[in-house]
Structure 1
Amino acid sequence: MNNNEKAIDVLQELNQFVNDRIEGYEHAAKLTKDPAHQSYYKDLVNQSRQFSSEINSTLSSIGGSTEKGTTAKGKIYRGWMDVKNTVTGRDEESLVKSNIYGEEWAQKAYNDALEHKAELPPQVVQMVEKQKQSSLATCERLRQMENAAD
């Protein structure tokens, strides 16, 4: 497998997680009763769409096909969230906790991608690291929102 093939592989997988992130925050924006949270989740949807766009244009530039799908695990998780919200009554704290879980999962996806750093073109590594930093900042903000909900 040459470096472009490895980069394509890593980016397509990463983009499935980013697409999960889009769907997850769209879902959260619909479920929340807090207007400030809703606005933040919508910002995160836009940020995630930007991430996906960056990944897809990089994929195109190195000869890969773009990735529009989500992970099977993400679909299962969102289904579980629906059931849990029906049972627990959609309280803000559990919604924020779910988003923290999703963001921690995104961190793992970014870390997995960066494990192949040596095999990836420098611009790919830079993009992945930049997105990972944004995801870390989101995680921090969500933890603050969770503490405020306590």
Structure 2
Amino acid sequence: MENTEKTVEILNDLIKIHNDRIAGYEKATTEVEDPELKELFTKFIGDSHKCKLALGTEIQTYAKDIENTTSSSGDIHRTWISVKTFFTGHDKKSVLEECEFGEDATQKAYRSATEGDHLPAYLIDMLTEQDVILKAAHDKVKALRDAERASVS
């Protein structure tokens, strides 16, 4: 029973980080003018919705409730919250820097979730697959940020 509770807690934490990630990218799309960047951020929002759906499905198999909120506690979750409040009046480089900071937090959350022996192997496999998508998003944001820095210099 204790392991089940820990599994559900981990999955709910990941749902919260995705809710925060979605809110952060929704805010970012209102702050940038670049249509390609808006499209990319919209794709990232869609990726997080897909991850949330898979996580929620797993939680329901344990007959537990999904905590479908943004987070109000925890350092990792607060990172995305600070990202979504940062944007107002900032340039493309700043927006990308803050998005990368949030993506770093997402990566940390996934690393934390897959460490230890709380999750069954099939869930670690699922989270690893999700992490590949999220790592690609992180790397894309970082590459765009680096390119933006180079063009500003």
Instruction: Tell whether the structures are fold-level matches, with TM greater than 0.5.
Output: yes
SS in 2 for 1:63: coil
Coordinate RMSD, CA, aligned: 1.5
**Alpha-carbon distance, 1:77 to partner:** 4.3
1:82-138 CA-to-partner distances (Å, cap 9, x unmatched) read 4xx3xxx3200000001000000001111111123x221222111111111211111
Identity %: 25
2:27 is matched with 27
Runs of 4+ in 1 over 4 A off after TM superposition: none
* TM-score for the superposition, normalised by structure 2: 0.87
Find the aligned partners of 2:96 and 2:6 in 1 and give their Cα distance. Answer: 35
Identify unmatched segments of 5+ residues in structure 1: none
Tell me, yes or no, if the aligned pair for 2:24 and 2:81 is still in contact at 8 Å. no
Is this contact kept in 2: 1:25–1:41, CA < 8 A?
Answer: yes
Equivalent in the alignment of 2:81: 75
Are 1:53 and 2:53 matched, yes or no? yes
SS state at 1:70 partner:
coil
Higher RCO (CA < 8 A, seq sep 6+):
1
Distance 1:44 1:107 in 2: 14
Q: Structure 2 unaligned segments of length 5 or more: list them.
A: 73-77
- Give deviations 1:16-75, integer Å, cap 9, x for gaps: 111111111111111111110000000000110111111111100122211211122243
Aligned length: 143
Aligned residue type for 2:34: D
Is 1:142 aligned to residue 141 of structure 2? yes
TM-score, normalised via structure 1 length: 0.88
